[in-house]
Each structure stands twice: as C-alpha cells, then as structure tokens.
Chains A and B, each alone.
Chain A
Amino acid sequence: MKPFKRLTAVVGAMAMALPLALVACSSKAEEKADPADLATLTVMIPLLAADAAAPAVDGEVHKAVEAFTGKKLQATWVPNSNYGDRMNVTLASDNLPEVMVVQGKLPAFVQSAEAGAFWNLTGKLDAYPNLKAENKQIELNSSINGQVYGIYRRRDPMRAAVIVRKDWLTKLGLSMPQTVDDLYRIAKAFTENDPDGNGKKDTYGLTIPKWPGVYATASPYDVIETWFGAPNGWGERNGKLVPGFDTPEFLEANRFVKKMLTEGLINPDFATLDSAKWDQQFFTGKGGIIVDVSSRASVLTRLFKEKDAATYTNFVDLTGNLTGPDGKKRSYPTIGYNGFLAISKQSVPTEAELKDVLTTLDKLSSKQGQILLNNGFEGKNFKVQEGYAVGQNATDPAMKTITNDVMSYAQLGTASNGYLAYVSLPAGQFEKEQYEKRVKFHKADEASAVHNPAQAIVSKTQVAKGAQLDQIIADARVKFLAGQLDEAGLKAEIQRWYSQGGQDIVNEMNQQYAKVKK
C-alpha cells in the first residue's frame, strides 16, 4: 500500500505544478528582445522547399551573409505552406521580427500597416542606391494607396506564353500562332485532324485546369480576356475605373472561349481537372496547347527529355502573347513583384535604427549581395560561363548544402533595383535557345503590356469582401462557359457583384484613384 501512496503523491504534485509551469512559460515569452540591439538583424522568411531543412546557423551561407552585412542574422524560417497563418499570428504577438517577408497585400497586413505596425517607406528608399526602385510603376503597384510599406521583391514583369506541341504542328503543316484566330484554327486542327496519327479522335486543342484563384489571378481566361482588349483586373473607361469583367471585351473573349468549348477544342472537364495534371495532358498527347507562364515550357521539355533524350527537342514550342481580333496586340503582365520586405515599427522604433536596417538591406541588394543570395560562392559551388551560372562540384555534400541554402536565402533578396545576379545555365543547347527565345519575346511583349491601373489602390470594402465578391465572378465565368448560365445569367451575376458590395468597391477605388493620380 505504501509505495502506491507515494506514487499518487508524486502524480498529484506534478498535476499541481503543471499549471504553474505553463504560467511561467507564458510570462517568459512576453519578455521583449532588446530593441536597441543594432548588432542583430531579425528576419522572418518563408522556406520554399518543402523537403529541405532550414539553413543551419553555422552553415557557410549564413556565416557569409553575416560577414557580408556585419550583422548577426537571426532568421525565422517558416514553411511556405503556412506562412500566411504564421504571419497573422506574428502580427498579433508583441514580438515582431525587424524585417518580415510579406507575401502580398493580404488583408491582415494592410490593416496592420494602416494601423501603424510598419514603417512607411515612401520617398525613403531613393536615398539607398541599391533599394532605389528600377521600375517606379512596380513600386507604386506594391504600395497601399501610394504609400510604400515595403521594399518590393522583384519578379519578371512578363511571363505569359502560349506553349504548343511542336510535333503536332509539324505533322499538320501549321506554324506557331500569332493571333487569337490562329489559336482557334490550331486548336480546331488539333481536335479534328488527328495530330497524333493514331486514327482516333482523342485529342483536343487547349487544356485548361480547375483554377484555384478568383477573378484576375493570371488564369488562362484572364490572359485571353486581355488579348481581346478587356482590362487587366481594373481599367480606365471614360476617366473612371471599372472592373474588367464589366466591359464588352470581357464578354467577347468569353464567347470565344465558349465557342471553343462547345466545339470540343478545350478539355470538357476544364472546371474539375486537377491543375497538377496540366502538364500530363500535354505530355501524354491529349491536349496540344497551354496558355500559362513560359517557365512551364522548361518543365515540359524536361519531361520529354526524361522520356527520350534523343528526340526531346521535337515536342515543345512556345511564343508570347497573341494579337487580338482587332489586330492589336495586348500583353498580360505580372504584377511585377512577389510580396515585399516590411520593417516593423515596434522592433525598429527609431529613425536611426531604420536607417541602419535599410543600409543592411541595401548591401544585400547590391550586385555582390545578390550574387551571394542567389548564386552562392563563385569558384566554389558555381562558375560563370557565357554570363550564366553553372553549378559545379555538385556531388560534394558541402556544395549541395550551399546550393540548398542559397535557394532559401534568395527569398530574402529584393532586387528592386534590377536583377544583378547570374541566371543558371539551361541544361542543354536546346534549353538554352528556348530560354533565350523566352527572354526575347517577353522583352518585346513588355511594350504592349496592359497594366492594372488600380494595382496600388486598396479599398476598404475590397479588403473586407473582395475575395468573396471576386469568387462570384470567377464562378459565373466558369458557369457561363459550361453552359449553366447564358449571357443574361452572366450579366445578372455581374449585377449581383455590384449589389453585394461591388458598387462600394468601385466608388472607393475611384476616390482613391483620383488621389493617387494627382
């Protein structure tokens, strides 16, 4: 009996101590890090590779970044998949990192920035040679109503492309599309003229997957609408901002897509096809055309190369944006940035400290800094060949670690002053030509880019209800294409958008637009 009694006493004591321990923990977490600590830079960064470990603190890259900036770096790596949730939690805590990667104008960020959680950097960045924006339009795009709350992270301004099965074109004696009419003709030929030569009518032209985003999220529909002259998200008509879907061009573009669908030129399961199978449809020879970002062509080329390295150059061809039915070319650009680095006012309370943080970020954005963050160490894990970076010593585990770490640290780079590091050399001659072709037509398309004039504008109702409202449009568009709605039904859904809060958004957007334009 006695030992049992002792045991219960121990368990009881443990049970009583438990809440105390928890209390002790939570009070410790509330202790603030010393904000005046200029020697340390704290950052929060998304970790992109799901299978890779976060870079080690004693890793070579980490040490090199610390040596280069002269700061002790304290990085919190958060898996990309729950970065948004983690950011919200961090915003709610009283322990914000000095620098935070923000992945876009998320509602929680906009609300916090406007409530004063982050430094307003408008006009401050031009004093730093490497933070001065290469493209003022993109800096404005990344702002909240003209107020810059972060250093934008540059991405290619143009990515849209049409990717076509080259072997099918050759077999049917067709050439790459230049116009939307060409697109229709090729899709029709791909559907009806047996491009794979198996004697069966088992192919179609364009593949469109289930699109997870809402309206104006670079879906194939959005790109085609732009080609037809519809605004990219928002457009200026008679001096006023109007939503892109309330224009005759939007309707015309979707009539075009619907016609292709009813004639069987697009996969009939476009509303449900898993977007992970997008490449498979092309690779296995079901659908011969993809409208998406140009980098998908490299992925497809790699698939064909894995299957047969001797003939892989025969399957993938690509071109840029297509000319609309009126003979005018309009290109669908990206928003030009991929989130930004925001600086917390709570952790960086004074102007002097802000200056110090900006100086550090400026250093990281210099040519030398960008090469360190994007490529690594020249002569060690890569060498430069014809202006491209070529990985070397890849089998050495230490080099592998460097290359992996560099991929993670690249997330910290902004390159808002332009991309100054090296691009890695494509795997073969064909891939290199393909890459150079991409760069060329993207550059040419930039001249005809249709920008969203409202990109910088954040309306209150848009933040509160935008996702919900834009879903109405995205659903209505798919329903119209699938035949669940006729044109009157589509227009009724657009009216529903207006009446459920869209009208408020239009009014607020126009008010802000008038202010920002001044």
Chain B
Amino acid sequence: MAGKARLSTRMVRYRWLFVLLLPGLAYFAIFKYAPMYGLTIAFQDYLPFLGFSGSPWVGFKHFADLFSSPDFPRVLSNTLILALLSMVFVFPAPIVVALLLNEIRLSVLKRAIQSAIYIPYFLSWTIVAALTYLLFALDTGPITQLMNNIFNQRFDFLADPDWFRPLVIAQTLWKEVGWGTIIYLAALAGVDPNLYEAARIDGANRWKQMWHVTLPGIRSTIIVVAILSAGNLLDTGFERIYLLTNSLNRSVAEVFDTYVYFLGITQGSYSYSTAVGLFKAVVGIVLIYSVNWLARRFGHSGLY
C-alpha cells in the first residue's frame, strides 16, 4: 500500500510530466495495440463482408492447417536459411566496415567513403532489383559476361535456384552495410583515447589495439544490435525476395513474408495468412528473449 501511495503523490507532483507522456501512450495504444485486435481473425473464418464480429470462430484450425501444410517445411527452411545467412554475413559486415573506416587517418577520404556507402540505403528495393536484373541478365548482363569469360561457363544467375540466396545476400550487403556502420562509428567515437595510449605504451600493435581496446569498447553496442536484430530474424523482407522470384527459383525463394502476401492478397485467405504472420511474430519474440537470455548468461547486461 505504501508504494501505491507514493506513486499517487508522485503523480500529483509531476502531473505535467505525466501529461506529456500521454501523446506517446496514445500513439502506442492507437497505432500499435488497437490494431492487434485484428489478430483475432487468425482464429476465425474471416469474411470482409461479415466483419470481425460476424465471422465464425474456428479456434486453431488455421494453425493446424499451417503446420500440416506441405508448404510449411519448405517455407520455414527457406526462411531460416536466409535468416542464418544474414546472421553470418550481413550482421558482422557493418562492424568490419566500421573498424576499417576507423583506421583511416585521412578524414576527407573517410567522409567521402562514408557518404558513398550510405547512398544505396536510400534506393528502394525496386531500383535495386532493376539494377540486379540489368547486371546479372542472362548472356547480356555485364557481370554475367565477366563471369562467363572468367569461368568459361554459362551462368544464369537470375533463374538458377543455387544463385538466389547469394544474390539476395549480396543485394542486402550492398544496400544496407553502409547505413549499418553509423551506429558502430558512433560507438567507436566513444572509446576512451587514453586506453589506446596506454595500450601503445604496453607495446600493442594496431591489430592488438583493435582486438583488446576497440572491440571490447563497442561490445555492448554489438550486443544490443544483435538482440534487436534477432527479433527481426524471420523478417527476410518482402520486396527484395518478391522481386527476384520467378518460376525457376521459387522453390528456394518462398519465405514467410512472400507466402503471407500470396495467400492473403492474391488468394484472399485473410485468416490463414494472419495465422502465418502471427506464428512468425511469436517466433520473433521467442528469439529476442533467448538472445537476451544468452547475453545475460555470458555476463553482459542485455537489453533489459
């Protein structure tokens, strides 16, 4: 009871601060929490005409359908493989680039490189896909011709299922690595210069300085980014996948995001596609909690 009383006194004393909190709360309530009511259609046979209240309830039917669907193993493994690949290749790439940039002494050169690698982030996926089609077109794309000449065989990057994942990862790297370095560069700027000086006096070369001073200095940033990106692990992205998909590579290209679009928008199975989306979100939450737990387990502070 005592705690409660204290809260109410605090509320009276800081009333204007609480008032200031209201717009933020309203934002989350209206735009984030209220729409979650729509998730109920995952447990209904939803018909737009009948609406939320009129559509019949079917319990876990759509989830049962999903798990027993012949598409499920394929879509799940495609999603997981892409997620794993981006964990291995896309996640560390900005760290490496940031470290490299950090070693550049000439600040004009550093800034020029930074600006150049930020630009792709502002292009839409449609443009990136169009560039990819241009560069990797069968027989006529410049990169295809180059590769054909070097390896003396005929590459079909756009249609060959084996090349789908490398292309998607390469696209993502090109587009997003530069932008991803920003947070690490900020963290690098915060590393105490005295530590470098001390390390140099102890005889550390640049490699050792990086290993023993720089990396520990930005470790907490890396962990926070890792936890946050774990939640988005299954968000393989819709456009970049959809725009590269064709009949020949669909077997490796179909992921949850495109599957939901295909079922929900093209086929009008709103309830089923909502169930798929909800499943994906639950996996995302589980991943956030487990990575956070792991981080704390290894003695770091974690996200919360």
User: A residues touching B (Cβ–Cβ < 8 Å)?
Assistant: 5, 8-9, 11-12, 14-16, 18-19, 22, 84-85, 88-89, 91-92, 106-108, 111-112, 115, 117, 210, 268-269, 271-272, 274, 463-468, 471, 474-475, 477-479, 482, 484, 496, 500
B4 CB, nearest partner CB in chain A, Å:
24
A-B pairs, top 10 by smallest CB distance, nearest first, are: A107-B268, A12-B19, A478-B247, A112-B49, A92-B48, A269-B138, A15-B22, A91-B48, A467-B267, A272-B158
For the complex with contacts A15-B26, A269-B156, A475-B247, 13 further pairs of A-B residues with Cβ separation under 8 Å are: A11-B20, A12-B16, A12-B19, A15-B20, A18-B23, A84-B265, A108-B268, A111-B48, A210-B246, A269-B137, A272-B133, A272-B159, A463-B268
Cα(A15)–Cα(B49), bound, Å: 35
Cα(A107)–Cα(B266), bound, Å: 9
Check B139 for interface membership: any CB of A closer than 8 A.
yes
Q: Which residues of B contact A18 (CB under 8 A)?
A: 23, 26
Cα(A477)–Cα(B20), bound, Å: 61
A115 close to B248 (CB less than 8 A): no
Cα(A322)–Cα(B20), bound, Å: 74
Cα(A309)–Cα(B48), bound, Å: 53
**A-B CB contact pairs (8 Å), 21 listed:** A5-B16, A15-B19, A16-B22, A18-B26, A19-B30, A88-B268, A89-B48, A91-B49, A107-B269, A108-B268, A111-B48, A112-B47, A115-B47, A268-B156, A269-B156, A269-B158, A271-B247, A468-B267, A478-B248, A479-B247, A484-B248
A15 close to B30 (CB less than 8 A): no
Chain B positions 259-273 with a Cβ under 8 Å from a chain A Cβ: 262-263, 265-269
Cα(A117)–Cα(B246), bound, Å: 37
A85 close to B265 (CB less than 8 A): yes
Q: Which residues of A contact B23 (CB under 8 A)?
A: 11, 14-15, 18
Q: Which residues of B contact A92 (CB under 8 A)?
A: 48-49, 51
B35 CB, nearest partner CB in chain A, Å:
14
B19 close to A8 (CB less than 8 A): yes
B138 close to A16 (CB less than 8 A): no
Check B36 for interface membership: any CB of A closer than 8 A.
no
Q: Which residues of B contact A108 (CB under 8 A)?
A: 47-49, 268
Q: Which residues of B contact A5 (CB under 8 A)?
A: 16
Check B5 for interface membership: any CB of A closer than 8 A.
no
B20 close to A8 (CB less than 8 A): yes
Q: A475 with B250: in contact, given A8-B16, A272-B159 (CB under 8 Å)?
A: yes
Check B50 for interface membership: any CB of A closer than 8 A.
yes
Cα(A11)–Cα(B51), bound, Å: 37
Check B203 for interface membership: any CB of A closer than 8 A.
no
Q: A474 with B247: in contact, given A466-B267, A467-B262 (CB under 8 Å)?
A: yes
Cα(A18)–Cα(B71), bound, Å: 45
Cα(A417)–Cα(B30), bound, Å: 50
Q: Which of A5, A14, A468 has the most CB of B within 10 A?
A: A468
Q: Which residues of B contact A272 (CB under 8 A)?
A: 133, 137-138, 158-159, 246, 248
Cα(A14)–Cα(B23), bound, Å: 9
CB within 8 A of B267: which of A16, A464, A496? A464
A105 CB, nearest partner CB in chain B, Å:
11
* Shortest Cβ distance from A84 into B: residue: B265
A111 close to B49 (CB less than 8 A): yes
Q: Which residues of B contact A478 (CB under 8 A)?
A: 246-248
Check B193 for interface membership: any CB of A closer than 8 A.
no
Check B299 for interface membership: any CB of A closer than 8 A.
no
Check B3 for interface membership: any CB of A closer than 8 A.
no
Q: Which residues of B contact A463 (CB under 8 A)?
A: 268
User: B residues touching A (Cβ–Cβ < 8 Å)?
Assistant: 16, 19-20, 22-23, 26, 30, 47-51, 70-71, 133, 137-139, 156, 158-159, 246-248, 250-251, 262-263, 265-269
B133 close to A111 (CB less than 8 A): no
Q: Which residues of A contact B47 (CB under 8 A)?
A: 108, 111-112, 115
Cα(A416)–Cα(B90), bound, Å: 56
Cα(A14)–Cα(B19), bound, Å: 10
A276 CB, nearest partner CB in chain B, Å:
10
Cα(A271)–Cα(B51), bound, Å: 40
Q: Which residues of A contact B158 (CB under 8 A)?
A: 269, 272
Cα(A313)–Cα(B263), bound, Å: 47
Q: A274 with B133: in contact, given A19-B26, A482-B248 (CB under 8 Å)?
A: yes
Q: Which residues of A contact B156 (CB under 8 A)?
A: 268-269
A93 CB, nearest partner CB in chain B, Å:
9
B158 CB, nearest partner CB in chain A, Å:
4
Cα(A463)–Cα(B269), bound, Å: 9
Q: Which residues of B contact A271 (CB under 8 A)?
A: 159, 246-248
Q: Which residues of B contact A88 (CB under 8 A)?
A: 48, 268
Q: A479 with B26: in contact, given A11-B20, A500-B70 (CB under 8 Å)?
A: no
Cα(A463)–Cα(B47), bound, Å: 13
Cα(A464)–Cα(B19), bound, Å: 49
A16 close to B49 (CB less than 8 A): no
Q: Which residues of A contact B250 (CB under 8 A)?
A: 471, 475
Cα(A471)–Cα(B71), bound, Å: 12
Q: A115 with B49: in contact, given A269-B137, A271-B159, A482-B159 (CB under 8 Å)?
A: yes
A485 CB, nearest partner CB in chain B, Å:
10
A322 CB, nearest partner CB in chain B, Å:
25
Q: Which residues of B contact A107 (CB under 8 A)?
A: 267-269
B206 CB, nearest partner CB in chain A, Å:
46
B22 close to A106 (CB less than 8 A): no
Q: Which residues of A contact B70 (CB under 8 A)?
A: 496, 500
Cα(A465)–Cα(B138), bound, Å: 34
Cα(A117)–Cα(B47), bound, Å: 11
Cα(A481)–Cα(B54), bound, Å: 47
Cα(A107)–Cα(B272), bound, Å: 14
Q: Which residues of B contact A268 (CB under 8 A)?
A: 138-139, 156
* Shortest Cβ distance from B158 into A: residue: A272
Cα(A465)–Cα(B266), bound, Å: 10
Q: Which residues of A contact B19 (CB under 8 A)?
A: 8, 11-12, 15-16
CB within 8 A of B159: which of A8, A112, A269, A467? A269
* Shortest Cβ distance from B138 into A: residue: A269
B279 CB, nearest partner CB in chain A, Å:
17
B94 CB, nearest partner CB in chain A, Å:
31
A468 close to B16 (CB less than 8 A): no
Q: Which residues of B contact A9 (CB under 8 A)?
A: 16
Q: Which residues of B contact A19 (CB under 8 A)?
A: 26, 30
A116 CB, nearest partner CB in chain B, Å:
8
* Shortest Cβ distance from A94 into B: residue: B51
* Shortest Cβ distance from B19 into A: residue: A12
Q: Which residues of A contact B138 (CB under 8 A)?
A: 268-269, 272
* Shortest Cβ distance from A108 into B: residue: B268
Cα(A433)–Cα(B21), bound, Å: 73
A505 CB, nearest partner CB in chain B, Å:
13
B266 close to A467 (CB less than 8 A): yes
